[in-house]
Each structure stands twice: as C-alpha cells, then as structure tokens.
Amino acid sequence: MTDLKDEGFDRRSVPLEALETSWTGPDGWSFRKLDWQQDKPRGSILFMTGRADFYEKYLETFHDFHEQGWNVTTLDWRGQGGSGRCGPHPHVGHIDDFATWVSDLVAQFEQWRSS
C-alpha cells in the first residue's frame, strides 16, 4: 500500500486523467461512468460498487489499481449515486426488481468486454 499523502493524491477528487462520461443502457437509462486508462495497461478491471454507493468512495482503490498498471472502469448503479433515481424522492434508491440491476450489469459487462 502506498502513502497517498506523499504522492499528492487527492482521495476526495476524481483525478484529472480519469474520464467521466455516461453510458446508456439498452433501455435508454443514463449511467454515470468513470474510465481511468493506462497507455500500456497490464489488464482491465470493471469495478462495481455496492448498493447505495457512488464511485467517489473508491477513488483510493482505483488509484492503487491504476498505479499498478490497470485500466479501471466503474459506473454508478441505476438509482444510485450520479445515475439518477428510479422514483420521485431524490435521496431514495429503490428499484423495481433486482433483475433490473442484473440486466444492467450484463449489458455493461458485454460492452466493456468487447471494447
């Protein structure tokens, strides 16, 4: 584990080299996405956070992976973080059916794997 204070890594801000975009699911839902790529990666990691999470909570982990040569891709789940809410309340992350999340993951994984 590296000492992040000595490196000047701000664990509270998305790194400038990381690309924040959106990914559109098969049903048109827009997901907030982050890609942190290497010039010559040793491989790629699709990192999925937990329920009620947002990817900023894992910036130190992404930094560690990136420092070890990995490409890192993550997104906020439907109804979580910056991927919008499924109901009218802005602080509640309900979902119609767990299968919706599974379908989102399958679609994202297939697209990620093919790119």
Looking up residue 109, the CATH number of its domain turns out to be 3.40.50.1820
Question: What's the mean pLDDT when you consider all of the chain?
Answer: 89
Alpha-carbon span 45 to 30, nearest angstrom: 21
At 81 the pLDDT is 84
What's the domain count of the chain? 1
| CA-closest candidate to residue 21, choices 12, 29, 30, 32 | 32
Indicate whether 86 belongs to any domain: yes
Give the pLDDT confidence of 61-95 residue by residue, as tens digits: 999 999 999 999 999 999 888 888 787 777 677 78
Indicate whether 6 belongs to any domain: no
In angstroms, the first-to-last Cα distance of the chain is 30
Indicate whether 2 belongs to any domain: no
User: Does the structure show a pLDDT above 80 at 1?
Assistant: no
Average pLDDT over residues 87-107: 86
Q: What pTM, to 2 d.p., does this model score?
A: 0.86
Indicate whether 8 belongs to any domain: no
- The 10 Å CB-count burial string (b at 16+, else e) for 54-84 is ebbebbebbbbbbeeebbbbbbbbbbbbbbe
Q: Which domain holds residue 101?
A: 17-114
Least reliable range by pLDDT among 3-7, 20-24, 64-68, 84-88: 3-7
User: Does the structure show a pLDDT above 50 at 10?
Assistant: yes
